[in-house]
Amino acid sequence: MSIDLGTLTIAKARKHLDAGDFTALELAESYLKSIEEKNPEIFAYLEVYDDVREQAKAADERIKKGEKGPMLGIPIALKDNMLVRGKLSTSSSKILEGHRGTYDATVIKKLREAGAVFLGRTNMDEFAMGSSTESSAYGLTKNPHDTSRVPGGSSGGSAAAVGGNIALAALGSDTGGSIRQPATFCGTVGLKPTYGTVSRYGLMAMASSLDQIGPFTKTVEDAEILFDAIRGNDPMDSTSVKDHPTPTLPSKEGRGKVIGVPRDFVGKEGIDKKVLENFEDSLARMKEKGYEIRDISLPRISHSLATYYILMPAEVSSNLARFDGIRFGLSLDGANTIDAYKKTRGIGFGAEVRRRIMLGTYVLSSGYYDAYYGKANKMRAIIRQDLEKIFTEVDLIATPTTPSPAFRFGEKTADPLSMYLADIFTVPANIAGVPAISLLSGFVEEDGKKLPLGFHLMASHFREDILFQAGKDFEASAK
């Protein structure tokens, strides 16, 4: 049978593979052909692996032997900040040019054991610092819906690969919205799981208390399948959660049917009118599906962005200290050790990475630690408490995913603050460590192109199940 990549999902591919309608090799070949045709323009992939066919053949052998599994033979793309044994892993930075993973990240190990087929590594903002994938040291990834616009970031390559039908699914990492924001811009589903539910072992750290690996898929059902494949406690990750209580739902009969809307937060200046109109339409769709829409007040959630841009650079400053030109990656000679450090880091790191390192070093410095980092940590605790309290009254919190559709290249690069504001609705979930999902909620026409928009839902800790159910109901409301 012919394979329609435009409508194919993980769930559909699983049925076809098990029925023998096509093989894992034929499926992989279809994606390799699509990559060959589209990637030169979109540039979602930094590298397509040379062993894709061998991986697919191995999956076919397992299927022939009667082995079952939701990810067996499924082709996926990987963000370039996850270690894959023997493969290049650079975080799209010159300072790690030529670096190869010496072991598999835990999520890679899980997927390899499950029989997934790794297509290649995707472009990203350097060390995951950015909201547009414009800070990559290796070139710009373009939005598959309008190549004059950004795909979002930092996981822009993964989002563009799924949105452009050159990957069936992909993994990304989310520190302040780096899965959900590009998912919106590229018209996919993007999930940021509860902090600690997916191992970070083998993920190059940006901000360790905020980073979380999650999936890009075409449907909520697929996001659930991929999440289930990578979740689980990992003794190699000290922040990995082993046993956790599942919060009860405040709604009647525990059905997860109450959606809270922080109107004072959503209605702030600078939000595109078309985004707000689409958001109201999305709420109406959920109401038709039996959800109660309730206005809530979260006055301190507006401090999330400022809190994030103190905590995150501080952790960046610490985590990126290891890239010194001595142990791995780029290494430049200098008159002495300090001079070698300066040359290597000055040339190896891009402008945005250097900006965040300097900002983080400043807020951690003597005399400023309490004034900035200390206060930000206190505000983080307050925001988390506010969300925990509101989740005793509602099951979900809804906002738009982004304040605007995908913007044009260069539109925000000269104004970092404007770029940072693209994360206003996504950052609170990372600050509090709660799960959140972005759903395709429609399109808006700009300059003759239809650009995707996103509907954003947050739930209490470890309640991804509510996000999946609500997401499926939302998708069903569009049919």
* pLDDT digits 0-9 by tens, 304-317: 999 999 999 999 99
d(CA 90, CA 204): 9
CA angle in degrees (0–180, nearest 5) for 145-429-399? 55
Helical ranges in 351-450 per DSSP H: 351-363, 375-390, 416-420, 427-432
With CA atoms as reference, report the closest residue to 228 among 113, 111, 79. Answer: 111
Asked if pLDDT for residue 254 goes beyond 80, the answer is no
Q: What percent of the chain has pLDDT over 70?
A: 99
Token representation of residue 476: 């069903």
Exposed/middle/buried for 460, CB within 10 Å: 0-12, 13-18, 19+? buried
Task: Respond yes or no: is residue 331 known to be catalytic.
Answer: no
Exposed/middle/buried for 135, CB within 10 Å: 0-12, 13-18, 19+? buried
* pLDDT digits 0-9 by tens, 294-305: 999 999 999 999
3-state secondary structure of 410: coil
Task: Respond yes or no: is residue 131 known to be catalytic.
Answer: no
Active-site annotation holder among 79, 142, 257, 412: 79
d(CA 157, CA 121): 8
Range name among 72-76, 238-242, 451-455 with the lowest pLDDT average = 238-242
Label residue 177 left, alpha or beta by phi (over 0 means left) and psi (-120 to 50 means alpha): left
For the whole model, what pTM was predicted? 0.96
* pLDDT digits 0-9 by tens, 277-288: 999 999 999 999
Task: Supply the Cα-derived Rg of the chain in whole angstroms.
Answer: 21
Active-site annotation holder among 178, 240, 251, 438: 178
3-state secondary structure of 190: strand
**pLDDT for residue 252:** 59
* pLDDT digits 0-9 by tens, 346-380: 999 999 999 999 999 999 998 899 999 999 999 99
- Our CA dihedral for 258, 197, 111, 73, rounded to 10 degrees, sits at -10
d(CA 440, CA 419): 22
With CA atoms as reference, report the closest residue to 128 among 56, 66, 62, 200. Answer: 200
Size of the chain in residues? 479
With CA atoms as reference, report the closest residue to 399 among 477, 302, 473, 468. Answer: 302
d(CA 299, CA 263): 10
Asked if pLDDT for residue 176 goes beyond 70, the answer is yes
Task: Respond yes or no: is residue 79 known to be catalytic.
Answer: yes
Say how many C-beta atoms besides its own lie within 10 A of residue 103's C-beta. Answer: 14
The full DSSP string for 41-108 is HH--EEEE-TTHHHHHHHHHHHHHTT---TTTT-EEEEETTB--BTSB--TT-GGGTT-BBSS--HHH
Exposed/middle/buried for 22, CB within 10 Å: 0-12, 13-18, 19+? middle
Token representation of residue 376: 């930000």
Label residue 256 by pLDDT band (50, 70, 90): confident
Answer whether 154's CB lies under 8 Å from 108's CB: no
- Mention every residue, 6+ apart, whose C-beta is less than 8 A from residue 433: 194, 195, 196, 384, 461
Active-site annotation holder among 30, 93, 131, 154: 154
Strands of the sheet with 212-217, listed across from one edge = 45-48, 117-122, 75-79, 169-174, 212-217, 189-192, 436-446, 449-458, 396-400, 258-262, 292-296
